[in-house]
């Protein structure tokens, strides 16, 4: 699943992921992502950090700490500051990558995280 409020970013992510064999569901904000995760299983979530209604950090913290879901979450942000990476990890994300991203690198990270789930 991807959670991003920007329609262009959604289209790019869907294209990249589907081109690499993934089935993708899109949410427009953290609240929608939480609702979808309550209804079905996803192998991974790519979560934009800055979204309306509920940002990616709050949504990730709820998914991990309240819902107790083990789904790996990968943060996606335009910010590359160390404090942003720390906030992602604290919220329960596995890692955080910056925009713009290299499609091959994003797919490599997703595959590595899914294969190494404990």
CA distance 111 to 95: 13
* CATH number for the domain harbouring residue 16: 3.40.50.2300
Q: What is the pLDDT of residue 44?
A: 95
- The predicted model scores a pTM of 0.91
What residue numbers bound the domain in which 17 lies? 2-115
- The answer to whether 98 and 77 have CB atoms below 8 angstroms apart is yes
Q: What is the pLDDT of residue 47?
A: 96
How do residues 27-75 score in pLDDT, each as one tens digit? 999 999 999 999 999 999 999 999 998 999 999 999 999 999 999 999 9
Q: Which residue has the higher pLDDT, 100 or 44?
A: 44
Count of domains observed in the chain:
1
């Amino acid at each position: 699943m991807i959670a991003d409020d920007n329609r262009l970013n959604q289209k790019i992510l869907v294209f990249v992921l589907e081109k690499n064999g993934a089935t993708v569901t899109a949410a427009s904000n953290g609240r929608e992502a939480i609702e979808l995760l309550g209804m079905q299983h996803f192998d991974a979530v790519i979560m934009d950090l800055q979204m309306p209604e509920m940002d990616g950090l709050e949504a990730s913290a709820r998914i991990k700490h309240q819902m107790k879901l083990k789904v790996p979450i990968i943060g996606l942000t335009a910010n590359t500051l160390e404090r942003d990476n720390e906030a992602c990890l604290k919220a329960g994300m596995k890692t955080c990558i910056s925009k713009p991203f290299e499609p091959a690198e994003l797919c490599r990270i997703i595959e590595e995280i899914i294969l190494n789930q404990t």
